[in-house]
Structure 1
Amino acid sequence: MLPGWAALLLMLASAVGAEMLLGRAAMLPWWLPGPEAAFPAERITAARLAVLPVCIGLFALAGLMANSGGEARVLACWGNYRGTVRKAGLVWVNPMLRRRRVDVRIRHWRSDPVDAADRDGAPIRVSLLVVWRVRDTARAVLSVLDHEDYLREQVHAVLSRTAATLPCDRFDGPGLSLRDGQWFGDELTRALAAEAAPVGLEVYSVQPLSLEYGPEVADSMRRRRVADLDADLRTVIVDDAVEAAKLAVRRLEHATGQELDRHARNALMERLLVAFVAPAGVPGAPTRRDGREGRRR
Structure 2
Amino acid sequence: MKTEKVLIPFNGYLVAVVLLFSIGTTIYGFITNYLVLAVASLLLSILLIKGFVVIGPNSSKVLLLFGDYRGSIKQSGLFWINPFYNKTSLSLRARNFESEKIKVNDKMGNPILISVILVWKVNDTFKSTFEVDNYEAFIRIQTDSAVRKLAGSFPYDHFEDERATITLSTNFDDVNIALENEVTQRLEIAGIEVIESRIAYLAYAPEIAHSMLRRQQASAVVAARHKIVEGAVGMVDSALKLLADKEIIEFDEDKKATMVSNLMVVLCGDSETKPVINTGTLNQ
TM over 0.5: yes
The letter for the 1-side match of 2:246 is T
The letter for the 1-side match of 2:86 is R
| TM-score (ref. length: structure 2) | 0.81
Residue number among 20, 23, 32 corresponding to 1:24 in the alignment: 32
State the alpha-carbon separation in 2 of the partners of residues 222 and 149 from structure 1.
37
The corresponding residue for 1:92 is 80
State the alpha-carbon separation in 2 of the partners of residues 16 and 76 from structure 1.
32
The corresponding residue for 2:71 is 83
State the alpha-carbon separation in 1 of the partners of residues 31 and 76 from structure 2.
39
The corresponding residue for 1:154 is 142
The corresponding residue for 1:139 is 127
Shift of 1:265: 6.2
Going from structure 1 to structure 2, the CA distance change for 1:219 and 1:9 (only over 3 Å counts) comes to same
Residue number among 103, 111, 114 corresponding to 2:91 in the alignment: 103
Moved more, 144-153 or 271-280: 271-280
The letter for the 2-side match of 1:158 is A
Structure 2 residue 18 is matched with structure 1 residue 10:
yes
The corresponding residue for 1:129 is 117
Structure 2 residue 243 is matched with structure 1 residue 256:
no
Judge conservation of contact 2:65–2:84 (CA < 8 Å) in 1.
yes
Structure 2 residue 177 is matched with structure 1 residue 177:
no
Shift of 1:112: 2.1
- Higher RCO (C-alpha 8 Å, min separation 6): 2
State the alpha-carbon separation in 2 of the partners of residues 268 and 9 from structure 1.
106
The letter for the 2-side match of 1:185 is N
Structure 2 residue 157 is matched with structure 1 residue 166:
no
The corresponding residue for 1:32 is none
Shift of 1:267: 5.3
State the alpha-carbon separation in 2 of the partners of residues 23 and 262 from structure 1.
132
State the alpha-carbon separation in 2 of the partners of residues 4 and 17 from structure 1.
20
The corresponding residue for 1:196 is 187
Judge conservation of contact 1:7–1:61 (CA < 8 Å) in 2.
no
Shift of 1:224: 2.8
Structure 2 residue 103 is matched with structure 1 residue 115:
yes
Going from structure 1 to structure 2, the CA distance change for 1:134 and 1:296 (only over 3 Å counts) comes to farther
Structure 2 residue 215 is matched with structure 1 residue 224:
yes
Percent pairwise identity: 24
Judge conservation of contact 1:110–1:130 (CA < 8 Å) in 2.
yes
Shift of 1:128: 0.8
Moved more, 154-163 or 270-279: 270-279
Deviation string 1:78-136 (CA, Å, 9 cap, x unpaired) is 33321111111111122211222222222222222122111232221112111222221
> Structure 2 unaligned runs (5+)?
1-8, 277-281
The letter for the 1-side match of 2:68 is N
Deviation string 1:268-295 (CA, Å, 9 cap, x unpaired) is 55444333321379xxxxx999xxxxx8
The corresponding residue for 2:5 is none
Shift of 1:167: 2.2
State the alpha-carbon separation in 2 of the partners of residues 296 and 166 from structure 1.
60
State the alpha-carbon separation in 1 of the partners of residues 157 and 259 from structure 2.
40
Greater helix fraction, Structure 1 or Structure 2: 1
The corresponding residue for 1:209 is 200
Going from structure 1 to structure 2, the CA distance change for 1:255 and 1:106 (only over 3 Å counts) comes to farther
Going from structure 1 to structure 2, the CA distance change for 1:219 and 1:19 (only over 3 Å counts) comes to same
Judge conservation of contact 2:99–2:144 (CA < 8 Å) in 1.
no
Length, aligned pairs only: 266
Judge conservation of contact 2:25–2:37 (CA < 8 Å) in 1.
no
The letter for the 1-side match of 2:167 is S
The corresponding residue for 1:28 is none
Shift of 1:215: 2.7
State the alpha-carbon separation in 1 of the partners of residues 249 and 182 from structure 2.
63
Structure 2 residue 43 is matched with structure 1 residue 55:
yes
- Structure label with greater radius of gyration: 1
Judge conservation of contact 1:139–1:199 (CA < 8 Å) in 2.
yes
State the alpha-carbon separation in 1 of the partners of residues 24 and 210 from structure 2.
80
Going from structure 1 to structure 2, the CA distance change for 1:49 and 1:171 (only over 3 Å counts) comes to same
DSSP-derived class of the 2:87 partner: strand
